[in-house]
Amino acid sequence: MGKQTILIVEDEEDIQELVRYHLVREGYQVLRADTGEEGLAQAESQLPDLLILDLMLPGLNGLEVCKRLKNQAATQDIPIIILSAKGEEADIVTGLELGADDYVTKPFGPKELIARVKAVLRRMEAPGEQAHVVRLHNIVIDPDRYEVTVSGEKRDLTVTEFGILYALARHPGRVFTRSQLVDAVHGDNYVVSDRAVDVQITGLRRKMGHSGKYIETVRGVGYRMRDRS
């Protein structure tokens, strides 16, 4: 397999250089763009394996770039990791809902970003979305039987709780916004308040007992299943 190519779209030179340095060291080929327009053009012409996209860009901003890439057949499957500043949670939520795969908040450590890059690329290689048994930590989820066990003990979940747990657990480490969780459980266009999702999560955690801690709250953004113990 050839080197995987990663495009960084970031107007801050220091950050762009730092990210480039660490990606190259990890064996990736790196492309760079300083503006949204340039990033969009490079993504369309080079079709990188992954895009690291800053939100605050001069001209076309990161969300707009994300939206355009996700609306074109040729580029919609390029995974995107958003770079955001502290306090941009609302934009992160919008970005994830537009189809970005993950995000990293500035200031970040290179190790953290590299770990996210690897995790996203790994998920891209993973087989599709067929229902399958998920084993994670001490939890086993069997979607055919609608059965959940924690350390071998059966847990009685509602259909909604089950759906939320299954969505989170089959993509460990990935952050889901509340509306993405609702979509995963009920399909698109089903409107539920954020508060209702929080109530479901609270019930789910309680029923999972000690293992409820693996369902993590990501402040201002949503929820994720911890991928490491």
The binding site for Ca ion (CB under 5 A) comprises 11, 54, 56
CB of 106 to Ca ion, least distance (A): 9
178-186 and 194-208 helices, crossing angle to 10° = 80
Cα(176)–Cα(221) distance, integer angstroms = 8
The residue (of 55 and 181) whose beta carbon lies closer to Ca ion is 55
CB of 73 to Ca ion, least distance (A): 28
The residue (of 56 and 124) whose beta carbon lies closer to Ca ion is 56
CB of 9 to Ca ion, least distance (A): 9
The residue (of 62 and 222) whose beta carbon lies closer to Ca ion is 62
**Beta-carbon neighbour count of residue 72 at 10 Å?**
12
The residue (of 84 and 177) whose beta carbon lies closer to Ca ion is 84
Q: Where are the alpha helices (DSSP H) in the chain?
A: 13-25, 36-46, 62-70, 89-98, 110-125, 159-169, 178-186, 194-208
| Antiparallel, parallel or unpaired: β 153-155 and 5-9 | unpaired
CB of 42 to Ca ion, least distance (A): 17
